[in-house]
Amino acid sequence: MQTRNRMFDDFATLMQNAMGVAQGARVEAETAMKGMIDRWLADRNLVTREEFDAVRAMAQKAREENETLTARIAALEAGRADSGRKKA
């Protein structure tokens, strides 16, 4: 009986080692694939999500400033038109 238990223990150890090797191979394959994808994307001059979000925020701020300035110009022009009417 003891021989049989040792055989199962050895088999279990072998399977654990095989799983460790398989997991290591998976991590290496994922790393290699990620590197290939990163290089491919870099060659295509695509922007990252962070760069896109930064430009989007800048555009939103510019739009808001434009609306503010448009409103100021309209107010100044309205004030100028009113003061022109009062003189006449």
Query: Which pTM does this prediction carry?
Result: 0.46
Residue 4's pLDDT is 65
Say yes or no to pLDDT of 30 above 70: yes
Could you report the per-residue pLDDT of 40-85, keeping only the tens digit for each? 888 888 888 999 999 999 999 999 999 999 999 999 999 888 776 7
- DSSP letters, the chain, are -HHHHHHHHHHHHHHHHHHHHHHHHHHHHHHHHHHHHHHHHHHTTPPPHHHHHHHHHHHHHHHHHHHHHHHHHHHHHHHHHHHHHHH-
Domain boundaries, the chain: 1-46, 47-88
